[in-house]
């Protein structure tokens, strides 16, 4: 098989240089992680970013799989003695797995079909006569006579032609060119339709009771919604296409002699082949393709939401009370200090059936005053609104300044029963751990959320319907990207957080924690070399992302990689600066470079690094302890409750974006139910993708458009002017 330059193909697709792709693939093949390559191998990749590197990683995997499949198919066909030069060339030139499978279909080992049974009866020569269409005269009974054989269960001329038609029908159905044409025609002109099986059971599928949209235009969330309705037995979903035109397209290719005696037989065959073999297969393929595309889109949306949630701004230097609301079993209350350490907790019963409202308020006041609580985090689950009312009353009766925040508790129950939670709080009952998680989500969202299966975080749409393997891979990538983007304190990070650092797996993360417990705090990054199972390769991958704010070396508190320490020292020496100068004012570096009119290329050469690495060193030293999350919007702090009855059409409020989906964004304005900003209300200009306008965690001003008290729905607009 001819050699293909994958690097050139990918380079053209991504509009980068072939050398960049080649170098990146070599780094990936050598076991380097994407965050490490993107951050610390910029000279090698030509400054490709993480997104581009991921694209290369995915594309090289696909092309290699395609190449392997071609080799397998060619070998199989050759063993059958049916590989012609023309077929070999077609397979080698195929650019997708679908093309390869279409070409392989006639030669693919299969179960007994109507066509194979007909061949066993000796009817293949008659089928070949039909396809040749050379006979213009003759009687079908006489033409079929030589093939009638009672021992082979061919008793009449009709049975002979029926078998021949089965053979020809399969031949047509396995014609790669026919499949390609019908697939293309169906995709371009077909309608994705759904109809209700039982209109009384429609519920959320009401809009799909009698729905149709062009296949090529249908939105991913509609595909996933209809698929779910079909799985639940509520909808009947199919692709509708012009059958007459489809048959005409096949006829134009296969009926080459309209005067042939076999013309009518061929017309019957084409109709059978299309209805029985082609149409159903093509519909299945297109639906699988569209569903796959919709899956990937939904996964992308979900992953982007998760990333923004992970990168939400931490609430630092506050003592936080977490409340996990409930009715019958009571509200669980926990206090954590500024580091996230659990101080104490109780259960209060303000709601039905015990209704200890006043006593619960007194209990909360005592806890707040005793522990000097600054902020209360309330989970947004059952009894949230009533608990919010309780909290607002408590705040109004206290002299100290204190606020509350509604926090998503999605996944808190998953965490509560997890091995991680049991390890953290072995002496606490499972129901008491969720409120600690709620409080910690406010203190440091990322550190807490990494302990939970990302699918349970609750900021997606149809995440339980999509390909779960692809979803898990995508979310792992997102968490890995977020963790390494922020960096991790080596002396405080949990095992759950450490395992997402580039080069570190769960076992190594556990070993780091055990080393820390036995030996005490790390004083330098080089100590990592003493951790069991963390070899030289893992150290290289991980070191730059692990920080020691109060370590022996100032550089260990920065994003400067140990392999660049010598270059950094050379830079400081060249600029006549000391570590103390940088600690006092990180801006002095660029001031010196500008003041002395130095060129970055010359400085990089002196330091023995490339310009991108020099830029990164300077950026890291300018803001050594900078947390990029601090630039993200802060949570909205509230002190009084907002009721649905308080709202008026046209009222403008401040809210927090909780979820972004294809059709808009859900915004928390302080009510039990988030309001919806449809994408048509996000801007005075056309918005195709809501993610281009807002992200999870954004604080936005919204105007009330419509209030449906019966359904508890609120329509919002971000066009607040006028």
Q: Tell me the sheet residues that pair with 346.
A: 333
Q: What is the 3-state secondary structure (H, E, C) of 12-65?
A: HHHCCCHHHHHHHHHHHHCCCCHHHHHHHCHHHHCCCCHHHHHHHHHHHHHHHH
199: nearest Cα among 186, 208, 212, 187: 208
Q: What is the pLDDT of residues 142-181, one digit of tens each?
A: 999 999 998 899 999 999 999 999 999 999 999 999 999 9
Q: What is the pLDDT of residue 209?
A: 93
Contact 698, 682 (CB under 8 A): no
Half-sphere exposure of residue 133: CA atoms within 13 angstroms, side-chain side: 16
CB neighbour burial string for 464-479, b if at least 16 within 10 angstroms, e if fewer: ebbeeeebeebbebbb
End-to-end CA distance of the chain: 67
Please, what are the domains in the chain? 6-107 (1.10.10.650), 114-299 (1.10.3500.10), 321-443 (3.30.420.140), 513-630 (1.10.150.310), 644-717 (2.40.50.140)
Q: Under 8 Å CB-to-CB from 143, ≥6 apart: which residues?
A: 126, 129, 135, 157, 261
Residues, the chain, total? 722
Strand (E) or helix (H) holding 391: helix 384-396
Q: How far apart are CA 165 and CA 118, in angstroms?
A: 9
Q: How far, in Å, are 466, 490, 540, 547 from residue 543 at the CA level?
A: 35, 10, 6, 8
Neighbours of 259 (CB within 10 A): 9
Q: Can you tell me which residue has the tokens 């409340």?
A: 323
Q: What is the pLDDT of residue 2?
A: 66
Q: What is the pLDDT of residues 583-592, one digit of tens each?
A: 888 889 999 9
Q: Which residue stretches of the chain have pLDDT < 70? A: 1-2, 460-461, 722
Q: What is the pLDDT of residue 1?
A: 63
Contact 322, 334 (CB under 8 A): yes
Q: Can you tell me which residue has the tokens 């070409």?
A: 103
Contact 153, 96 (CB under 8 A): no
Sheet of strand 191-196, all strands in order from the earlier edge strand to the far edge: 210-214, 191-196, 235-240
Q: What is the pLDDT of residue 625?
A: 77
Q: How far apart are CA 501 and CA 503, in angstroms?
A: 6
Q: What is the pLDDT of residue 722?
A: 56
Strand pairing category for 331-336 and 320-324 = antiparallel
pTM: 0.86
Q: How far apart are CA 652 and CA 643, in angstroms?
A: 15
């Amino acid at each position: 098989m001819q050699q293909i330059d994958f690097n050139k193909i990918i380079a053209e697709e991504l509009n980068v240089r072939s050398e960049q792709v080649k170098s990146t693939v070599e780094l990936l093949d050598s076991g380097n992680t994407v965050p490490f390559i993107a951050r610390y191998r910029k000279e090698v990749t030509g400054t490709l970013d993480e997104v581009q590197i991921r694209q290369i990683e995915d594309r090289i995997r696909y092309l290699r799989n395609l190449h392997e499949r071609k080799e397998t198919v060619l070998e199989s066909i050759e063993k059958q003695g049916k590989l012609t030069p023309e077929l070999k060339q077609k397979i080698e030139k195929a650019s997708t797995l679908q093309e390869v499978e279409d070409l392989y279909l006639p030669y693919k080992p299969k179960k007994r079909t109507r066509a194979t049974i007909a061949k066993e009866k000796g009817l293949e020569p008659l089928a070949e006569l039909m396809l040749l269409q050379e006979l213009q005269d003759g009687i079908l009974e006489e033409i079929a006579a030589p093939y009638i054989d009672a021992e082979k269960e061919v008793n009449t001329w009709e049975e002979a032609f029926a078998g021949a038609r089965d053979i020809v029908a399969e031949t047509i159905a396995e014609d790669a060119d026919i499949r390609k044409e019908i697939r293309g025609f169906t995709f371009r002109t077909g309608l994705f339709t759904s109809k209700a099986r039982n209109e009384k059971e429609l519920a959320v599928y009401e809009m799909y009771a009698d729905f149709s949209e062009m296949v090529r235009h249908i939105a991913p969330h509609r595909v996933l919604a209809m698929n779910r309705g079909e799985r639940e037995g509520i909808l009947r979903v199919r692709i509708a296409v012009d059958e007459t035109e489809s048959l005409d397209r096949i006829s134009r290719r296969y009926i080459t002699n309209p005067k042939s005696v076999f013309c009518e037989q061929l017309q019957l065959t084409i109709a059978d082949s299309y209805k029985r073999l082609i149409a159903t297969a093509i519909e299945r393929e297109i639906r699988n393709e569209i569903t796959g595309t919709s899956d990937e889109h939904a996964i992308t949306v979900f992953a982007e939401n998760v990333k923004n949630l992970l990168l939400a701004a931490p609430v630092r230097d506050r003592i936080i009370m977490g409340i996990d609301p409930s009715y019958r079993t009571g509200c669980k209350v926990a206090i954590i200090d500024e580091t996230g350490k659990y101080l104490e907790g109780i259960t209060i019963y303000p709601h039905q059936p015990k209704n200890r409202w006043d006593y619960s308020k007194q209990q909360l006041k005592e806890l707040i005053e005793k522990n000097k609580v600054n902020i209360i985090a309330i989970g947004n689950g059952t009894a949230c609104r009533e608990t919010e009312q309780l909290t607002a009353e408590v705040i109004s009766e206290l002299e100290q300044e204190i606020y509350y925040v509604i926090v998503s508790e999605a996944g808190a129950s998953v965490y509560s029963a997890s091995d991680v939670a049991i390890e953290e709080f072995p002496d606490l009952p499972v129901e008491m751990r969720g409120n600690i998680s709620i409080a910690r989500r406010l203190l440091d969202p990322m550190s807490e959320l990494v302990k939970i299966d990302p699918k349970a975080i609750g900021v997606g749409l149809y995440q339980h319907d999509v390909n779960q393997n692809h979803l898990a891979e995508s979310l792992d990538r997102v968490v890995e990207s977020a963790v390494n983007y922020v960096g991790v304190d080596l002396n405080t990070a949990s095992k759950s957080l450490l395992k997402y650092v580039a080069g570190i797996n769960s076992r190594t993360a556990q070993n780091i924690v055990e080393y820390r417990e036995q030996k005490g705090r790390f004083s330098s990054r080089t100590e990592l070399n003493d951790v069991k199972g963390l070899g030289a390769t893992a150290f290289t991958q991980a070191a730059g992302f692990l920080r020691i704010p109060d370590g022996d070396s100032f550089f260990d508190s920065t994003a400067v990689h140990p392999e660049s320490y010598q270059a950094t020292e050379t830079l400081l020496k060249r600029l006549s600066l000391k570590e103390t100068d940088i600690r006092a004012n990180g801006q002095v570096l660029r001031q010196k470079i500008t003041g002395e009119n130095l060129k970055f290329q010359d400085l990089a050469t002196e330091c023995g690094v490339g310009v991108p690495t020099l830029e990164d060193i300077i950026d890291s030293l300018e803001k050594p302890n900078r947390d990029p999350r601090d630039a993200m919007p802060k949570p909205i702090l509230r002190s009084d409750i907002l009721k649905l009855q308080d709202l008026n059409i046209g009222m403008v409020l401040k809210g927090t974006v909780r979820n972004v989906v294809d059709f808009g964004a859900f915004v928390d304005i302080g009510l039990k139910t988030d309001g919806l900003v449809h994408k048509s209300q996000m801007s005075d200009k056309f918005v195709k993708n809501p993610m281009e306008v807002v992200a999870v965690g954004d604080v936005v001003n919204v105007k009330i458009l419509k209030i449906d008290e019966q359904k508890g729905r609120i329509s919002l607009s971000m066009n607040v002017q006028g």
